[in-house]
A and B are shown apart, each in its own frame.
Chain A
């Protein structure tokens, strides 16, 4: 099994799906000749041609809108939003059209679109290239929101998203693209959307995360193991709908829960995770449910020291985990 980067796993998934199903096509800004600004679609236009790898104007509403129309026609579009920050012009198409199509047409129509969006900071991208916008979409029934953290999960889940008969919003942490590498099978496999994954077994504390911060949690857990603190790490993988069973099981296991994400704390996905635990696990809880998240400020600063302050890192996570373990 080859060890490849997160972004290569994304490319591999798209390539395999395009080979498997002629209805699958890619559209977005600079996805064709350029191969994507992050090179996620690198080589696709050469293999599948410009009819299936479409460079679009700088209009996210059009990228998603065209995708929805094609999906209604029976195609399986993969719409790329170049940065998740730019998804705002397409919110109407995603929330009011794609997510509601099956429901409002009484099952006559469905919308098998996949919308890929690189999110998150730590790449000196500043205000408009660093945002975490997932929380905006995690209370929209009809939409699935996926955010993998490993190359293996990225490939399996992206293939599942493409094959899903309903719209899937697929967030890829851009810092993970080339930083995170892992073993990815070259054969075809899909992973179930809506299922979280235990990334590390432990007994003292439960840490729940997704995206880049999941790796901070794993690194911190490794260090804490040397101190005799055993951390159980759950990767949400799907942010909407949440895998309640897995969350309850993981929280009940230790009774001490830390939720970590880069997105702002207030109104973030962590709040919903905490609510699920509070509803179901009262008599297993041994400590207050803690959250470690990005600060509630408008955007990621450009200044490197400020960006460092804004971003979580393994040290910050480790400190929060240790504090919870000692409670």
Chain B
């Protein structure tokens, strides 16, 4: 009897995942912990490790299909358990797949590369699929002109290659139907009518039907990666669901700048990392959130959930994607603790080594837009949080103090709020609190 492998839980709020790529074929031998498939959720890309050593006997869920957590995705015949020798109790009990050991938040290819090296069967699988995914110029051209999703076309050429005639036949037949499951007609869950649950109507990684926008000569067509698709979907979802209101305050951070200049050299020597401005801003935000817990909440249609934990999401950009890893329990951390957390998360984001845990549980987002020189921004709320604050560039400006003009280091703090949850008044008070905390930073401020 074969062991069942189920779609693992890839994060606390994740209810479903898309099999973006099978790394094994039927008949392949796998070792325990070998990667079986790449799975895309609305949070991350991850690999599903094998729960047992054995031989793959059946792949149940085809590539590209989105299934709920706990769904049977594959059977593995355990080594040494040939035929009926395994005890029925053992065999029938579904083995719950552990959470992915390591989620790769960077490009899928990064995750795939080590997998291929360590698992020869996976490499073979990739080779067999080569012809299917290698498109001739004619096929690419026709599919773009007519909005045909090649991942759903069955190729009749050598090795399953999609030929120009295959694409032409679809065009001649009136084009591709949006929900047509050409490639996997026998897939059990390929019912074209989506069920009522909104999440299922827009699965994160399901390729959206191509929009017929003409591509001019010389234009570059960049395929949408799963992570880019996730970013796009989440941005649209946030803007669509949460009515964004926006406000901004100016903060005089001259004292903060002076203080940091005083302590940064010693801090770097002592702690081995640079003291940036961001930890001070996060600290001030966290303190203010404690005073105004309503800001640290979530809209849930019939109720508003005020979160107890204060977990600060920080936006970290790579060249082609944006991630929001989370500083857990930021209210329990000193400025040093926050600085270390920021440094660690940023480094691991760029290395593509964030774990699922790093990505979940955020309750409020601080976005350091000043790091790329912005002085004003209108951030999109990191759904389902209620608000987001962006810290702009610190710039020296003439400021009137006591009817005198002084040169001061000024910064703009911009806040987008979910107007279902929050109103201008409370946000204004919250921002005043942040401002007051930042302006009172001085020699007495504790870093530790």
Contacts and interface: CB of A to CB of B under 8 A. Distances in A.
Given A327-B157, A327-B158, A283 B163 contact: no
A285 B136 contact: yes
Contacts of B164: 254-256, 284, 286
Interface string B131-147: 00000111111000000
A287 interface: yes
Contact of B138 (A204, A286, A326): A286
B171 to A, nearest CB: 14
Contact of A255 (B136, B158, B161): B136
B137 A282 contact: yes
Given A204-B165, A255-B164, A286-B163, A326 B137 contact: no
A285 B157 contact: no
A85 to B, nearest CB: 40
Interface in B130-183: 136-141, 157-158, 161, 163-165
A287 B136 contact: yes
Contacts of A287: 136
Contacts of B139: 286
Interface string A194-225: 00000000011000000000000000000000
By CB atoms of chain B within 10 A, which of A283, A285, A286 has the most? A286
Given A255-B164, A283-B141, A286-B163, A326 B136 contact: no
A286 B158 contact: no
Contacts of A254: 164
Interface string A276-289: 00000011111100
A286 B140 CA distance: 9
Nearest to A252: B138
By CB atoms of chain B within 10 A, which of A282, A283, A285, A326 has the most? A283
A287 B139 CA distance: 10
Nearest to A204: B165
A203 B137 CA distance: 18
B158 A285 contact: no
A326 B164 CA distance: 12
A283 B138 contact: yes
Interface string A16-51: 000000000000000000000000000000000000
Contacts of A204: 165
Interface in A241-300: 254-256, 282-287
By CB atoms of chain A within 10 A, which of B140, B161, B163 has the most? B163
Given A204-B165, A286-B164, A327-B158, 18 more contacts: A255-B136, A255-B138, A283-B137, A283-B138, A284-B137, A284-B138, A284-B141, A285-B136, A285-B137, A285-B138, A286-B136, A286-B138, A286-B139, A286-B165, A287-B136, A326-B157, A327-B157, A327-B161
Interface of A: 203-204, 254-256, 282-287, 326-327
18 contacts: A255-B138, A255-B164, A283-B137, A283-B138, A283-B140, A283-B141, A284-B137, A284-B138, A284-B141, A285-B137, A286-B136, A286-B137, A286-B164, A286-B165, A287-B136, A326-B158, A327-B158, A327-B163
